[in-house]
Chain A
Amino acid sequence: MVWAKMKFPFEKRVKLAQGLWLLSWLAIVGGALNFCFGCFLKTEIRRRTEVMDNSNIHIVPNTLIVSGLAAIGINYFAGQICQDALDVGRFPRWKTFLKPYCCCAIIFTSLTLIGVILSFTMRSSLEGSLQVGLRNALRFYKDTDTPGRCFQKQTIDHLQMEFRCCGNNDYRDWFEVQWISNRYLDFSSKEVKDRIKSNVDGRYLLDGVPFSCCNPSSARPCIQYKLTNNSAHYNYEHQTEELNIFVRGCREALLSYYTALMNSIGAGVLLLFLVVLASLRYLQTSMEAVIGQENTEIETEGYLLEKNVSETIVEYLNPVMKLLLLNQVQDGLVKAEAGAQPE
């Protein structure tokens, strides 16, 4: 009782083999794209490690790289099998190879599927990681003299200019952080002393942002200090001014960038692999009926599974179970034999 049966006359078999050969080369290209994508994503994440808290996100590009490489190998063999499939003399070579090959192919296709699912589900983890990472980066902005943190200022400035964003959630995060180092504060000035005394931690907080928050599309020269003070600037109203500095937060900007990258991976590539796998299985089963026949141009049947789904799963798991339960079954048998003999 076969599952998903299809009839294959000779011409259809030929067409199937040719189509499959073409598809397998397309799938190799798809696998290569997958691999390149994984590498690109990995380097992009590496570039911004300073604003990410943990590196769990690396599992997504690693899965992509592995499945991409595996796809190239698997589909190369699929192409070779197709080339030999129509020649009945050469096809038996592959017979013993096909079953383990199909298992491998199924495993790696499911790996790709897992990769695609992971990239959707890791979004929230990425968001949390960025939240913590960016908060720390903002705090260490002023420490350009501390080894290990001296490049945070440059990193944040470049990030804000490139992604057109300001701060963590939005620009007001800068009001809560001291981003001007004490080295550049004149402690003899009354204004500085007042500000430092005005909060518990003794930090110099002001309603100003660094220059990298400035929006080049603004019609007026950038206002970065005394942002909330309308009277400090002519013809300026804090509530209605939108173009002066970037309003988007960097966490949101980075999140949408990485999500767009990960989503465009490809349900398309996955679909391609599934099609290749199914076609290969049909080709194999339809060719097996031809082997040993004199007339190679007869019509044969092809199917996906020899028995139905549940029976096939049981059949595949049996060897694995046997290996694990081997000793126990033997003991029982020995006891039964020993019990039978004295009688």
Chain B
Amino acid sequence: MKTDFCEILQKLNSNNGSMLCVVTMCRAVPINDLIYRASQQSDKLHALSTMLTQELVCTYRVHACHTSSLQTPTDKEQALQVSESDLLSLARSLLQAWSDPLVVLSSSTNVLPYSAQSTLSKTIQKMQEHSKDLKDGLDILSSKMGPAAQTITSLPFIETNEIGQDKITKLLSCFRRDSHKIDSFLKVLRCRAANMQPQMC
């Protein structure tokens, strides 16, 4: 396990040239498994949000999300050029930005018709759980990957004066995209780390 960890770090260092000094000793759980687990969580998170959005949002609309200010890659070339630490940082920032809005979302279900309320409530609850797990995992992962990974961009959530229905729709749409971003970043990170395990990619 120690060898895996060291090899990954060497690879990470070589890819982006950043100094990822790892001074800490090897943990029991190797990075590969952590990343894999994180990507699984983000995948689930996004799937939930997609399901929810497709049920409650009739049409796709563009909304200005509170996380739009965060600069994220817009195409593949850009995305593949992002370092592992930045990828992790972006993921963690986005995740962090949605911890409060999810709470707001769960409390706004009363505006919806009763039939949709239960679905929304359950799903939002699940999403919060996954989000929590993912956050914890990413925290551990970031601690192994150096100080650059620890950076979290603050994306405060400011409630706007939107009508309940619209608010939910907007929130759901935004969360869908952001969860997709998180999932994408982590999966790219996963393939970067799975040098010895190509079956993960």
Q: Do A and B bind each other?
A: no
Chain A interface residues toward B at CB < 8 A: none
